Amino acid sequence: MLNESKLKLLTTLVEGANAEELIWLNGYFAGLTASNKTGGATAVAVQAVNKKITLVYGTETGNAKKLATQLAGIAKKKGINIKLAGLDQYRFTDLTKEEVLLVVISTQGEGEPPASGKKFYEYIHATNELALTKLNYSVLALGDTSYPLFCQTGVDVDTRLETFGAKRLLAVEKCDVDYEAQALSWLDNVLNTVAAEGSAQQILTTATTQPKQTTGKKYYQGSILSSVNLNDRGSKKETYHIEITTDEVISYEPGDAIGIVPFNKQQIVERILALTEADGDLEVVTAKVTASLRDLLTQHLNICYLLLPAIRKYAELTAQDIPDIRMDLVDLLRIYPVKNAMQFIEVVKLLHPISPRLYSIASAPSAHGENEVHITVSKNSFYTEDEHRYGLCSEFLGNQPVGTAITFYVHKNKAFKLPDASKDVIMIGPGTGVAPFRSFLAERDAAGAQGRNWLFFGEQHFVTDFLYQVEMQNYVQTGVLTNLDLAFSRDQQEKIYVQHKMQQKSSDLYNWINNGATLYVCGAKEPMANDVERTLLNIISEQGGLSEEEAAAYLVQLQEEGRYEKDVY
């Protein structure tokens, strides 16, 4: 029972409330009751959602899909009916029929859409005829703040939907690599917003989310412990096994990667300063860093293969007609020079930060210690205007002597993880794609995993290019590697690749997969990963007696079960 003063307050509150507010109050008080029964959990009153909600996702590595699936499950537990769909399977004609559309989408590389969201992204940018005035929407964008175009795909999708007349429920939510708590908070906010605009009937749920958190990356200060060229004399390649040590424990799991920000070559920086006649010691203030011009160009700003937005801003600032062609800053300055050093300072303020390069971790804490991380780096070389050049980070890392200080962070890859120790794994990793599988094998060996391990590895020549040869042969001798199939493409007249070895072992391979093995692919997306997938589909069709459509569905099921995972680049 309430005492007289509390009863008077309640009566005053109720007398001034309309019907909808009374229903809300009823739900609020019920929520407080639920709070007491559940040990003080915060109760959230959510109106019954009568609108049709569709949650779609666009993913490259699987993170957006796993998150979207988790969010849909939470919504359903709250009693809210929600439809979940991948953007690669989504019918574009359904857009005009949607009432509420929630989009979870990642950004790849330099602001590009993920593989499964590319067609949707291109569709909404190619058409101008959509009328979405009845649509309510919100976008959850996944990205990495280390990259200049952070969450750009999500921002682009949000902008286009608004352009078509759709109503934005909440501003686009931009999430860094640690996104779980923020995503759960977004879901609650979206559902409450939808509910507030819908029926006044109340249902009560206990909050399952934490307050929105914005945690930065954990950067580690390490040094190079060892750097060894894995290719023998006579090879056309340079592939370095680099071990980095720190004074603190590195928090990572097999399947993760590390991000490293490289420095630009000093000789290129000096060439830029000479072309512009700028003072390298002049202190310059940019959006993120204040440093000498020389240090900015060396350690902080991207001067290689500039993004098109930077090229366009340069053209506007210097009042020159420059085609939409990406090029290095030194070439841009040489062909389309600035007027003077002061104008170059303005150009510097337009440049993006150096993007980190991600390298799959080739070590395992249980086998190599918690204060070390290993990577496998192929020195990338190419020709531009008859000039021999190298990839920025691969050359940077390959040229560093032992003892060099290295700053890095761990990039979690939740969609590329080992299964239970009793399960079999099949690993397909030619070239540097073998790196995470060295980690997998070391982990399985240290843990005494009972599951079988099968590795397909390929390179150009057996004698000069068999990366981690001694280790892999030792794993075969000790039984850690049940099967090791090798494809050295240039050791015979006809080129042989890993997919050819897979086809040769198609019966055994299918039996492993059909009996529960998890399949992993790591390495170049084009053409390797695509060729491997086509071979997989062919093997599944032939060995399983399935049509092309049935084989494709089988592979999709493997993906949904987390038994077909890719880390391709």
Residue bearing the bigger pLDDT, 12 or 466: 466
Mean pLDDT taken over the chain? 87
Task: Give the C-alpha separation, 329 to 278, whole Å.
Answer: 14
211 falls within a domain: no
15 falls within a domain: no
- pLDDT of 382 reads 60
Please provide residue 280's backbone torsions phi and psi, each rounded to the nearest 5 degrees: -65, -20
**492 shares its domain with 537:** yes
The total number of residues shown for the chain amounts to 569
Q: If residue 376 lies in a helix (H) or strand (E), which one and from where to where?
A: strand 372-378
- pLDDT of 30 reads 41
**280 shares its domain with 328:** yes
Residue range of the domain that includes 98: 45-206
pLDDT for 50 beyond 90: no
- pLDDT of 3 reads 62
**141 shares its domain with 235:** no
**367 shares its domain with 335:** no
Q: What is the pLDDT of residues 432-460, one digit of tens each?
A: 999 999 999 999 999 999 999 999 999 99
Q: What is the pLDDT of residues 20-48, one digit of tens each?
A: 454 445 444 544 443 343 343 333 334 44
Task: Give the C-alpha separation, 511 to 519, whole Å.
Answer: 12
Report the largest interatomic distance among the alpha carbons of the chain, rounded to a whole angstrom: 97
- pLDDT of 216 reads 64
DSSP state of 528: I
**119 shares its domain with 199:** yes
454 falls within a domain: yes
- pLDDT of 254 reads 97
pLDDT for 12 beyond 60: yes
Percentage of residues in the chain with pLDDT exceeding 90?
Answer: 66
- pLDDT of 500 reads 97
**487 shares its domain with 515:** yes
For the stretch 353-386, what's the b/e string if a residue is b when 16 or more beta carbons lie within 10 angstroms of its beta carbon? bbbbbbbbbbbbbebbeebbbbbbbbbeeeeeee
Residue 271 belongs to domain with CATH number: 1.20.990
pTM: 0.76
Q: What is the pLDDT of residues 128-140, one digit of tens each?
A: 888 999 999 999 9
**129 shares its domain with 200:** yes
**372 shares its domain with 273:** no
Residue 179 belongs to domain with CATH number: 3.40.50.360
**64 shares its domain with 196:** yes
Most confident of 153-157, 178-182, 392-396: 153-157
**359 shares its domain with 377:** yes
DSSP state of 108: B
Q: What's the domain count of the chain?
A: 4
9 falls within a domain: no
416 falls within a domain: no
**235 shares its domain with 316:** no
pLDDT for 267 beyond 90: yes
- pLDDT of 381 reads 64
Q: What is the pLDDT of residues 293-322, one digit of tens each?
A: 999 999 999 999 898 889 999 999 999 999
- pLDDT of 46 reads 43
- pLDDT of 560 reads 85
Task: Give the C-alpha separation, 218 to 439, whole Å.
Answer: 21
420 falls within a domain: no
Confidence class for position 146, pLDDT limits 50, 70, 90: confident
14 falls within a domain: no
Residue 475 belongs to domain with CATH number: 3.40.50.80
Confidence class for position 217, pLDDT limits 50, 70, 90: confident
pLDDT, mean of residues 224-229:
96
How is 396-423 classified by DSSP, letter by letter? Answer: HHHTPPTT-EEEEEEE--TTS----TTS
129 falls within a domain: yes
Residue 389 belongs to domain with CATH number: 2.40.30.10
